[in-house]
């Protein structure tokens, strides 16, 4: 959208807010140990030495549902974790607030026409027989000076009256307004929609607001949303296949042009809510056998009913597209992927079923089926593979890895997805494991990386498969140049996870095994 704002991703804004909060916490009079802690955390987080500056408040604008307010909350949680502080959200009396607390207070200014929400109600004060009035600010604002860090978010500021916006400008610029002083460790920010551009109701933005603060257009993107979603859901239902759907249909991630008279349309927020309320339960029912013995018509009916409800968040067009995606997944690609992971191959009947769905490998329907099949392979193998790794079961670990490779290389002849599948596999195993011996999430980008140890074990576990596929023209070479090279590339893109060397889980392959190469399954 062509507006006069610098456009930033939600992740970029979040990183800026982390810096701003650390800067506010680093003030004169703070415990020297806390100062040293802040500087060490800064160096670790940004790979740069700490340099003191005074941050300017940020006014985050953008479409509804793109994480403007959530960016403040997410940044506050990270800073609290970095510094070992207690995060107190929306504090109320008599909540004690002290130096080791990070206070987060969101004030909804939507429709505000008086200054009570910010300045509080008036009270009569007596001083040596002289009576006058003062303001009694809300508890959270009155105690902000006591907190180690105070973050105040003026939510939906452009929907407040102009006089409230003027008071808010003083708070954002100086941390003071109408006798209220939040103190030097308070960071005040604001959020707001775009008015006629996004179908919301707002007051006009004054030039004072536009020139006193950092003004950013915040827009989440499908890549960042998918990465966060993978990391946030560690159970077997995971992202319920929605990450693969949006990777195939990125144009359906955010469709503001579909808004008409308040009708629902997809946004990052509505996707997150639809995933949690509708799609994850649906995926759990089907993948865990709740529909076992039921007809495909029964499953289709369950999908249709679920997506009818999800249309309340995503709109009719997108929900209908998701329904078709799920019908194909649950009736075809998911059962086939489960069979490969459990047995290492497909039966003759299943091979015919695969071939019927794969077709020419080029059409849109064929491509969707194949992506579903490959992502389902990863979804089905991640948990048992990690369980074997945790139990130091080298044989089981190797079996799971080789079954995955059987599915990726013996069925279908289109390997263009393997770079993306490598990233998907990395994100899934790192998220589920939550173990530095497996890998970690880069805090700057939310991208996962495998540990050197886990990648080494994975490489050894795949070695036998590469040799077993030697009779298939290009099989071993193809593996080394696609999936494995992408995994190595992901690991090398960031610093390796710290830690002492760990013992091998998978032994080095015996040299003589190269002399007894078995025939690989037929490539379809």
- pLDDT over threshold 90, residue 295: no
Better-predicted residue by pLDDT, 219 or 197: 219
Whether residue 437 has pLDDT greater than 60: yes
Could you give the CA distance from residue 513 to residue 469 in angstroms, rounded to a whole number? Answer: 13
In a domain, 19, yes or no: yes
Same domain, 291 and 182: no
481 or 155, greater pLDDT: 155
Share of the chain above pLDDT 70, in %: 79
pLDDT at 237: 81
Q: How far is CA 413 from each of CA 38, 359, 433, 472, 522, rounded to the nearest angstrom?
A: 52, 11, 31, 12, 11
Assess whether pLDDT exceeds 80 at residue 124: no
Q: Give residue 466's pLDDT band: very low, low, confident or very high (50, 70, 90).
A: very low
Q: Please give the residue range of the domain that contains residue 369.
A: 364-524
pLDDT at position 493 over 70: no
pLDDT digits (tens, 9 = 90+) for 322-353: 999 999 999 899 999 999 999 999 999 999 99
Residue 350 lies in a domain: no
Domain contains 352: no
Tell me which of 511 and 266 has the higher pLDDT.
266
pLDDT score of 513 more than 70 = no
Higher pLDDT, 126 or 113: 126
Q: Is residue 461 part of a domain?
A: yes
* Residue 499 pLDDT exceeds 50: no
Same domain, 45 and 159: yes
B/e letters for 100-132, b = 16+ CB within 10 Å, e = fewer, are ebbbbbbbebeebeebebbbbeeeeeeeeeeee
- 207 and 230 assigned to the same domain: no
- How large is the average pLDDT for residues 116-136? 72
Three-class DSSP category at 52: coil
Residue labelled with tokens 């497909």 = 346
Pairing of strands 186-192, 149-155: parallel
pLDDT above 80: residue 405: yes
Q: Residues 208, 79: one domain?
A: yes
Within-domain flag for 348: no
410-426 mean pLDDT? 79
For residue 152, give both structure tokens: 């105040």
Read off the pLDDT of residues 245-263 as tens digits, 9 standing for 90 and up. 998 899 999 998 777 667 8
Domain boundary among 204, 220, 236: 220
Co-location of 329 and 420 in the same domain? no
In a domain, 1, yes or no: no
pLDDT reported for residue 160 = 81
What integer pLDDT is reported at residue 517 of this predicted model?
Answer: 32
User: What Å distances lie between residue 54 and 22, 45, 77, CA to CA?
Assistant: 11, 19, 21
* Maximum CA extent, the chain: 103
Higher pLDDT, 483 or 218: 218
Based on the fold, state whether residues 214 and 68 are members of the same structural domain: yes
pLDDT greater at residue 312 or residue 452: 312
**CATH code of the domain containing 180:** 3.40.50
Greater confidence, 517 or 190?
190
515 found inside a domain: yes
Asked if residue 442 has pLDDT above 70, the reply is yes
Q: Is the pLDDT of residue 469 over 50?
A: no
Question: Which whole number is the average pLDDT over 459-484?
Answer: 49
For the segment 134-188, what is each residue's pLDDT rounded down to a tens digit?
777 778 788 888 999 999 999 988 888 777 887 888 888 888 776 778 889 999 9
Does residue 354 lie within any of the structural domains?
Answer: no
pLDDT of residue 484: 56
Number of structural domains in the chain: 3
């Amino acid at each position: 959208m062509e507006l006069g704002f610098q456009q930033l991703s939600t992740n970029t804004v979040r990183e800026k807010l982390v810096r701003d909060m650390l800067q506010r916490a680093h003030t004169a009079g703070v415990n020297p140990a806390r100062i040293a802690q802040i500087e060490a955390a800064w160096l670790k987080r940004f790979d740069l030495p700490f340099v003191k500056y005074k941050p300017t408040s940020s006014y985050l604008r953008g479409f509804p549902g793109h994480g403007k307010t959530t960016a403040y909350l997410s940044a506050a949680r990270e800073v609290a974790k970095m510094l070992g502080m207690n995060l107190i959200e929306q504090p109320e009396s008599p909540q004690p607030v002290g130096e080791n607390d990070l206070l987060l207070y969101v004030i909804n200014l939507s429709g505000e026409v008086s200054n009570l929400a910010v300045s509080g109600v008036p009270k009569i004060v007596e001083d040596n027989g002289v009576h006058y009035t003062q303001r009694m600010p809300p508890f959270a604002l009155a105690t902000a000076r006591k907190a180690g860090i105070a973050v105040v978010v003026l939510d939906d500021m452009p929907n407040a009256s102009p006089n409230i916006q003027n008071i808010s400008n003083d708070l954002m610029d100086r941390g003071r307004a109408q006798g209220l002083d939040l103190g030097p460790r308070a960071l005040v920010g604001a959020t707001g929609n775009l008015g006629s551009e996004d179908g919301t109701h707002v007051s006009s933005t004054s030039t004072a607001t536009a020139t006193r603060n950092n003004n950013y257009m915040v827009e989440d993107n499908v890549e960042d949303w998918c990465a966060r979603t993978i990391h946030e859901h560690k159970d077997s239902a995971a992202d319920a296949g929605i990450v693969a759907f949006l990777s195939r249909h990125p144009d359906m991630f955010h469709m503001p042009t579909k808004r008409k008279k308040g009708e629902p349309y997809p946004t990052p927020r509505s996707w997150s809510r639809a995933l949690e309320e509708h799609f994850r339960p649906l995926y759990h029912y089907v993948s865990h056998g709740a529909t076992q013995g039921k007809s495909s018509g029964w499953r289709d009916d369950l999908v249709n009913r679920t997506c009818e409800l999800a249309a309340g968040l995503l709109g009719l067009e997108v929900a209908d597209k998701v329904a078709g995606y799920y019908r194909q997944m649950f009736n075809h690609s998911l059962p086939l992927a489960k069979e490969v992971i459990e047995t290492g191959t497909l039966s003759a009947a299943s091979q015919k079923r695969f071939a019927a769905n794969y077709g020419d490998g080029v059409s849109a329907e064929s491509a969707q089926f194949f992506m579903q099949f490959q992502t389902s392979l990863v979804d089905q193998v991640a948990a048992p593979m990690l369980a074997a790794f945790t139990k130091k079961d080298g044989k089981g670990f190797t079996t799971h890895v080789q079954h995955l490779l059987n599915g990726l290389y013996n069925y279908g002849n289109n390997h263009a997805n393997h770079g993306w599948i490598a990233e998907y596999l990395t994100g899934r195993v790192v998220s589920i494991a939550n173990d530095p011996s497996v890998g970690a999430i880069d805090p700057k980008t939310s991208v996962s990386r495998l540990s050197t140890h886990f990648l080494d074990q994975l490489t050894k576990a795949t070695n036998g498969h590469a040799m077993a596929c030697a009779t298939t023209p290009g099989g071993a070479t193809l593996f080394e140049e696609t999936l494995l090279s992408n995994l190595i590339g992901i690991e090398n893109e960031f610093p390796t996870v710290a830690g002492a060397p760990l013992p091998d889980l998978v032994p080095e392959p015996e040299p003589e095994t190269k002399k007894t190469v078995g025939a690989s399954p037929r490539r379809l």
